[in-house]
Structure 1
């Protein structure tokens, strides 16, 4: 949940950036979580799209999120172990999509491989 204070001397993009960064660092937003599109979040918060885009750019420069073009902006892994796992998950997701597997089937395969079935 993002709450902006219009009476604050802190610019809206910085309020947004700081709150999202805090949610990433505390784990409230887990690695791989897709953030809302710039336009959707701008509409939800009553901000200009450029304001949200600037916050996302700064989060990306900090290494907290990754922008993947048409796939949107996602929370980046914060340590090497999680980063490697995230890359493996992304590779699996690409392969499963290429094979035409529905996401429910792909997830079932992962759960079975992890012994969580």
Structure 2
């Protein structure tokens, strides 16, 4: 059973709450590589969400490399460990490449990051 609280009164969309909840459980080690997760319909029924909401979260998690779908076998936590670190690392590297190309100094570049984090 995948028990992830979803606050229907939050400004964060339910699919994003679900996506973040699964990522948090992967990072904590609660969900390890190869762990089968519930079907879209089963999790939607369990959490009281529309199946399309769960499907969107699963789709985005698969695009991020957190989940892998194995046809009729279902969806599983990806075997590559915590792919969120890889995605964040690639994003950081790409950001630094752009910053260098623009000729910005490190303090200015970090200022943009801090501003984005505080939004």
TM range (shorter): 0.5 to 0.7
Match of 2:68, SS state, is strand
Partner of 1:32: 34
Instruction: Specify the alignment match of 1:52 in structure 2.
Output: 54
Aligned mates of 1:69, 1:77 — CA distance in 2: 16
1:1-117 paired onto structure 2 within 5 Å: 1-79=3-81
Which runs of 5 or more residues in structure 2 are unaligned?
Answer: 82-119
Shift of residue 27 of structure 1? 1.2
C-alpha distance in 2, partners of 1:42/1:77? 24
Secondary structure class of the residue paired with 1:51: helix
CA distance in 2, matches of 1:6, 1:39: 18
> CA shift at 1:78, angstroms?
2.9
Aligned partners of 2:22 and 2:79: how far apart in 1? 14
TM (normalized to structure 1)?
0.65
Deviations 1:40-62 (A, max 9, x none): 00000111111000000010011
Instruction: Tell me the SS of whatever aligns to 1:40.
Output: helix
Spell out structure 1 runs of 4+ moving beyond 4 A: none
Distance 2:80 2:27 in 1: 8
Unaligned runs of 5+ in 1: 80-117
SS of match in other structure, 2:36: coil
